[in-house]
Amino acid sequence: MQDVEVIEDAVAAAVALDPVRARLLRELAVPASAAGLAARVGLPRQKVNYHLRALEAHGLVELAEERRHGGITERVLRASAASYVVSPAAVSAGAADPDATPDRVSARYLVAVAARVVREVGALVRRAGTGGRVPTLTVDTQIGFRSAADRAAFAEDLTAAVLDLAARYHHDDGRPHRLVVAAHPIPEEDS
């Protein structure tokens, strides 16, 4: 089971976002058979089987084991990932294209960059496979600005520091990494 799976396909996203199927995916963090899952979620086994087939067809659940009981084989399934993120590219191919937005200080540009990060890191995770590691770095912090002037001065200082570090550590023959530095106000309901 992967830690996180980025869903790129629109049909797979629709399958995963169905409320019943989303609940089954959460429940399948612990492997279960259709009968066991039906008892946990209070749905008929046939209905659970129907939804499990749809999830399995899109690679969202996988076979964990098969158990034989006399002449019957019980399939035990598990979610393919601990969590799922739907890539904006599943909705719109241009969603993850920052070059389509010339205004680099707009919210639209920031969302496009974030969408590209989701798409690119999702592809790296898929290529690395289960248990594979992807060399990433994340800095996440909060800062309070007293004024727009302080925010602008901070942006200038941060830009100079990042450009200095990039110039110091960049090598033309090195493996390229993408560095994204973003800032946005925290929505009031999250603070």
Q: Are residues 59 and 119 in the same domain?
A: no
Q: Is the pLDDT reported for residue 60 higher than 70?
A: yes
Q: Structural domain tally of the chain?
A: 2
Tokens of 178: 């993408």
User: Residue 40 has what pLDDT?
Assistant: 93
Q: Are residues 101 and 165 in the same domain?
A: yes
Q: Are residues 108 and 186 in the same domain?
A: yes
Backbone dihedral region of 131: left (phi > 0), alpha (psi from -120 to 50 degrees) or beta? left
Q: Are residues 183 and 102 in the same domain?
A: yes
Mean pLDDT over 56-84 rounds to 91
Q: What residues form DSSP beta bridges with 63?
A: 77
Cα–Cα distance for residue pair 6/121, rounded to 1 Å: 8
Q: Are residues 93 and 184 in the same domain?
A: yes
C-alpha distances in angstroms, 158 versus 96, 108, 179?
A: 25, 21, 13
> Helix or strand or coil: residue 4?
strand
Q: Are residues 114 and 156 in the same domain?
A: yes
Structural domain boundaries enclosing 8? 2-84
Q: Summarize pLDDT for 85-118 with one digit per residue, the tens.
A: 888 878 876 666 788 888 888 888 888 888 888 8
Q: Is the pLDDT reported for residue 177 higher than 80?
A: yes
Question: What is the residue-averaged pLDDT of the chain?
Answer: 89
Domain boundary among 54, 84, 114: 84
**Dihedral sign (CA 20, 58, 25, 93):** negative
Please indicate, yes or no, whether the overall pTM of this predicted structure exceeds 0.85.
no
Instruction: Name the nearest CA neighbour of 126 among 13, 1, 29, 5.
Output: 5
Mean pLDDT over 120-130 rounds to 81
Q: Are residues 103 and 172 in the same domain?
A: yes
Q: Are residues 157 and 169 in the same domain?
A: yes
Q: Are residues 182 and 151 in the same domain?
A: yes
C-alpha distances in angstroms, 147 versus 110, 152, 155?
A: 21, 9, 12
Q: Are residues 92 and 65 in the same domain?
A: no
Q: Are 177 and 166 in contact (CB under 8 A)?
A: no
